[in-house]
Amino acid sequence: MAGLDDGFFQRGWRRTLLALAVHCRREGSLCPCRVLLDTVEVDGLDATWKAARLVRRALGEGFRLEAVLTDTVVFAGFNILDPERLYRETGVPAVAVYMYPPRREAVERALRLHFPDWRERLAVLEEAWSRLRSAECRRGRLLLAAYGMEPRDAWRLACSLQLYTRHPEPLFTAHQAASMLSRTLGPL
């Protein structure tokens, strides 16, 4: 099991960190066992291939990943990850996890204003949004878009990973690692 999230960044930063937090089950408990890092361009186009590279590194180290949970499909500003392509390129199912419904109009307005390729970026977002299904879990509702696995299996998995908070644990670990390290390291 793994979670993927990006780090903190400020205006003017060219890159931030992308963290893949791999979790393992040991003696019935879910434990973080490896965090892999790479950089990702702010507002760039490299989130998908950087995520795929991290997943392949984890697989190369012998980890068997049941799925990769991503914190939405938007990283480092508007660097859009394509979960379908991530699944195709790695063979590992991807589940985009949303804590809140996307703000479609605001996102489209921002994309139109700032990106000449806004249609392509929006198409990936709309495809992910069209797959979103609500999952009522013990620690709170999630919205999930599943790639390479059935939505009900993604629901069971994401809900089972909510240990202490609404965030599935691998996503929480990825978020903490990427955010703390990017704040500490500063502009990359």
Instruction: Report the CATH number at residue 124.
Output: 3.30.2170.10
Within a domain: 186: no
What's the mean pLDDT in 57-74?
Answer: 97
Task: Report pTM.
Answer: 0.95
What's the mean pLDDT in 104-128?
Answer: 97
Give dist(CA 57, CA 98) in Å, integer: 25
Q: Is the pLDDT of residue 79 over 90?
A: yes
Within a domain: 44: yes
CB 20 within 8 A of CB 58: yes
Structure tokens at 180: 């703390």
Q: Is 38 helix (H, G, I), strand (E, B) or coil?
A: strand
Give dist(CA 135, CA 103) in Å, integer: 19
What's the mean pLDDT in 154-177?
Answer: 96
71 pLDDT tier (thresholds 50, 70, 90) = very high
Structure tokens at 145: 């878009």
Q: What is the pLDDT of residue 186?
A: 86
Give dist(CA 151, CA 89) in Å, integer: 20
171 pLDDT tier (thresholds 50, 70, 90) = very high
Q: What is the pLDDT of residue 26?
A: 86
Domain that holds residue 159: 2-179
What's the mean pLDDT in 118-129?
Answer: 97
Within a domain: 134: yes
User: What's the mean pLDDT when you consider all of the chain?
Assistant: 96
What's the mean pLDDT in 31-58?
Answer: 97
Where do runs of H (alpha helix) occur along 15-168? 47-60, 83-90, 104-114, 118-131, 151-160
Task: Report how many domains make up the chain.
Answer: 1
Q: Is the pLDDT of residue 187 over 90?
A: no
